[in-house]
Amino acid sequence: MAKNSTFVCASCGASFSKWSGRCEACGEWNSIHEEAPLSPTPTGLGAAKGRRLALTTLDRQEAPPPRNSSGIAEFDRVLGGGLVEASAILVGGDPGIGKSTLLLQAAASFARSGLKTYYISGEEAAAQIRMRATRLGLQDSAVQLASETSLRDILTTLDADRPDLVIIDSIQTMWSDRVDSAPGSVSQVRAAAHELTAFAKRSGCAVILVGHVTKEGQIAGPRVVEHMVDTVLYFEGERGHQFRILRAVKNRFGPADEIGVFEMTGAGLSEVGNPSALFLGERGKPSPGSVVFAGIEGTRPVLVEVQALVSPTPHSQARRSVVGWDGGRLAMILAVLESRCGIPFAGLDVYLNVAGGMKISEPAADLAVAAALLSAREDAALPPETVVFGEISLSGALRPVSQTENRLKEARKLGFSCAIAPEGGKPGRVADLKLTQMGDLTGFVGETFGAG
Ligand code: TYD
Ligand code: MG
**Ligand 1 atom 9, closest CA:** 98
Q: Is 414 helix (H, G, I), strand (E, B) or coil?
A: coil
Question: Which residues are near ligand 2, the ion (C-beta closer than 5 Å)?
Answer: 100
For 290-309, what is each residue's pLDDT tens digit?
A: 999 999 988 889 999 999 99
Any ligand 1 atom below 6 A from CB of 98? yes
The answer to whether residue 51 is domain-embedded is no
Report the SS3 class of residue 114.
coil
Percent of the chain with pLDDT over 70: 93
pLDDT of 2 reads 47
Query: Does ligand 1 come within 6 angstroms of the Cβ of 267?
Result: yes
Q: pLDDT tens digits, residue range 256-272?
A: 888 899 999 999 999 98
- Can you give the residue range of the structural domain that contains 30? 1-37
> Could you write out the DSSP letters of every residue in 307-340?
EEEEEE-SSSS--EEEESS-HHHHHHHHHHHHHH
Task: For 4-70, give the DSSP string.
Answer: T-EEEETTT--EESS--SB-TTT--BS-EEEEPPPPSS-SS----S--------S----PPPPEE--
Q: What's the mean pLDDT in 210-236? A: 79
Query: Are 26 and 82 part of one and the same domain?
Result: no
Residue 369 domain flag: yes
Region 22-29 average pLDDT: 88
Centroid of ligand 2 to alpha carbon of 443 (angstroms): 51
The whole-number pLDDT of residue 220 equals 58
Exposed / middle / buried, residue 219 (Cβ in 10 Å: 0-12, 13-18, 19+): buried
Per-residue pLDDT, 452: 42
How confident is the model at residue 191, as a pLDDT? 92
- In the predicted model, is pLDDT for residue 38 greater than 80? no
Contact 284, 367 (CB under 8 A): no
Q: How many residues does the chain have?
A: 452
Domain identity same for 336 and 265: no
Contact 74, 300 (CB under 8 A): no
62 burial type by CB count under 10 A (0-12 exposed, 13-18 middle, 19+ buried): exposed
CB contact at 8 A, 109 and 134: no
Compute the average pLDDT of residues 64-75.
88
d(CA 18, CA 208): 35
Residue where one domain finishes, among candidates 255, 273, 291: 273
Instruction: Measure the CA–CA gap between 177 and 39, rounded to whole angstroms.
Output: 9
- Is 243 within a domain? yes
Q: Please tell me if the CB atom of residue 268 comes closer than 6 angstroms to any atom of ligand 1.
A: yes
Give 449's pLDDT tier (boundaries 50, 70, 90): confident
The reply to whether 78 and 100 lie within a common domain is: yes
Select from 253, 273, 293 the last residue of a domain: 273
Q: Is residue 431 in some structural domain?
A: yes
- Note whether 289 and 432 are same-domain residues: yes
For a ligand 1 pocket test, name from 121, 264, 269 the mutation site with the most ligand atoms within 8 angstroms of its C-beta: 264
CATH of the domain at 376: 3.30.230.10
Q: Mean per-residue pLDDT for 124-139?
A: 94
What's the CA gap between 3 and 36, in Å, rounded?
A: 10
Q: Which residues contact 190 (CB under 8 A, 6 or more apart)?
A: 221, 224, 225, 228
Task: Establish whether residue 93 lines the binding site of ligand 1, counting it when its CB lies within 6 angstroms of any ligand atom.
Answer: yes
- Say whether both 261 and 284 belong to one domain: no
Note whether 135 and 16 are same-domain residues: no
What is the torsional sign of CA 317, 320, 321, 327? Answer: negative
The answer on 145 and 268 residing in a single domain is yes
Q: Are residues 310 and 166 in the same domain?
A: no
CATH no. for residue 229? 3.40.50.300
Instruction: Give the confidence band of 1 by pLDDT, cuts at 50, 70, 90.
Output: very low
Count of C-beta atoms within a 10 Å radius of residue 142: 13
Whether residue 129 is contained in a domain is answered as yes
Q: Atom of ligand 1 at shortest distance to CA of 210? A: 6
| Ligand 2 midpoint to CA 96 (Å) | 7
Task: Tell me if 45 is assigned to some domain.
Answer: no
269 in contact with ligand 1, CB cutoff 6 A: no
Is a pLDDT exceeding 90 seen at residue 218?
no
Give CB contacts under 8 A, 24+ apart, made by 65-68: 65/253, 68/110, 68/113, 68/115, 68/164, 68/165, 68/206
Q: Is the CB of 244 under 6 A from ligand 1?
A: no
Of residues 208 and 11, the one with the higher pLDDT is 208
Asked which of 223, 257, 273 is the last residue of a domain, the reply is 273
Q: At what angle do helices 366-378 and 441-449 cross, to 10 degrees?
A: 40
Query: 394: pLDDT confidence band, cut at 50, 70 and 90?
Result: very high
The residue whose CA is least distant from atom 23 of ligand 1 is 268
Same domain, 433 and 345: yes
Distance 95 CA to ligand 2 centre (A): 7
CA distances from 437 to 365, 412, 426, 434 (A): 15, 16, 11, 10
428 lies in the same domain as 382: yes
pLDDT for the residue numbered 212 = 87
Determine if ligand 1 sits within 6 Å of the CB of residue 99. Answer: yes
Residues 149 and 262 in one domain: yes
For ligand 1, say whether the CB of 101 is within 6 Å of any of its atoms: yes
- The whole model's pTM is what? 0.80
pLDDT-derived band at 3 (thresholds 50, 70, 90) equals low
Please tell me the total count of domains within the chain.
3
Q: Is 49 inside any structural domain? A: no
Rounded to a whole number of angstroms, the CA Rg of the chain reads 25
Instruction: Check pLDDT > 80 for residue 341.
Output: yes
Residue minimizing CA distance to atom 8 of ligand 1: 96
242, pLDDT greater than 60 = yes
Give the Cα separation of 191 and 52 in Å (integer): 26
Assess whether 13 and 85 both reside in one domain. Answer: no
What's the pLDDT band for 219 if we cut at 50, 70, 90?
Answer: low
Q: How far apart are the first and last CA of the chain?
A: 69
The verdict on residue 52 lying in a domain is: no
Q: In Å, how far are 121, 260, 314, 341, 357 from 319, measured between CA atoms?
A: 44, 33, 10, 21, 21
